[in-house]
Amino acid sequence: MIALPILLSIVALCFKLCSAANCGCATQPLHVRKGAGLHYGLEGTMAIGQCVTVHSDRHTANGYTWVHINYNGKSGYVAINWLSIHPCANSGHINTQLQLHGCPHITTRAEWGARHPAYTIGHMPGPAKYIFIHHSVTAPCTTPSACKAEVKQFQNYHMDGHKWPDIGYSFVIGEDGHVYEGRGWDTIGAHTYGYNSVGLGICIIGNYMERIPNNAALNKIKQLITCGVQNGKINSNYILRGHQDMPNNPTACPGKKLEDLIHTWPHF
């Protein structure tokens, strides 16, 4: 027979592990309340892509279903409508199926010296509906060492300047003809306001207001998109757009010449 204190400890541990089985990631800025309902005060606000531990209990109030979460070590409640729930990961970035069949080789985060994300970021809810093309408006790079240094600068700027949890782009491509892993295929990015959870953001290093990228970079964009479709990471009926084409994104990105070029590509 198990002693009562031991039995209680086992029950408590089981409850803790079961409760921590799922994580929820915000699909838009999401208020965390101290109770299940709009009349409760705010505990804080989850950023887009920020993930928390989700408990099993649910409550209905004010026309919403509220889920119980662990927010910064405190108990909180959020409306489930804007929470993507999935099994918890072991780290802030999962390099899952990065090198897909038929894809160009992708330089991993470890290979270019990425920092670890500031916190766990949510997963894409399904295959990407959109592909967004960006340019970095920085000097071009034509060697792996120079391009790796540029990608590291992008991550530092996004994390330290914007206070984002990681580099915003899904992938970065240089005129060295290499693809660099950003947040990858499966992690929600921070590249196109209002569309991050439904699209992948591909940034080409350089300024393309007055010229187009070289063939080495252009071919890698096309190969990356094709292999993403073939492997189920991108919807077969995807929509291709430049950053500037989407509402509430006032920008000249990806540059006039590159924008004009992608207008001639399939799915634009």
Give the CATH number for residue 28: 2.30.30.40
Q: What tens-digit pLDDT sequence spans the chain (268 residues)? A: 445 444 444 334 344 444 445 778 787 789 999 999 999 999 999 877 677 888 888 999 999 999 999 887 789 999 998 887 776 654 444 445 688 888 899 999 989 999 989 887 888 989 999 999 999 999 999 999 999 999 999 999 999 999 999 999 999 999 999 999 999 999 999 999 999 999 999 999 999 999 999 999 999 999 999 999 999 999 999 999 999 999 999 999 999 999 999 999 999 9
**Do residues 59 and 149 share a domain?**
no
Task: Judge if 56 and 160 occupy the same domain.
Answer: no
One domain for residues 143 and 193: yes
- Same-domain pairing of 252 and 190: yes
Instruction: Tell whether 52 and 179 lie within a shared domain.
Output: no
**What's the CATH code of the domain at 169?**
3.40.80.10
62 conformational bin, left if phi > 0, alpha if psi -120 to 50, beta if neither: left
Is 198 found in the same domain as 136? yes
Strands 22-26 and 83-87 come out as antiparallel
Task: Tell me whether residue 217 is in a domain.
Answer: yes
Tell me the pTM.
Answer: 0.69
Same domain, 67 and 127: no
Q: Judge whether 9 lies within some domain.
A: no
Is residue 230 domain-shared with residue 125, that is, in the same domain? Answer: yes
Total domains in the chain come to 2
Full residue range of the structural domain in which residue 74 is found: 19-87
Assess whether 82 and 116 both reside in one domain.
Answer: no
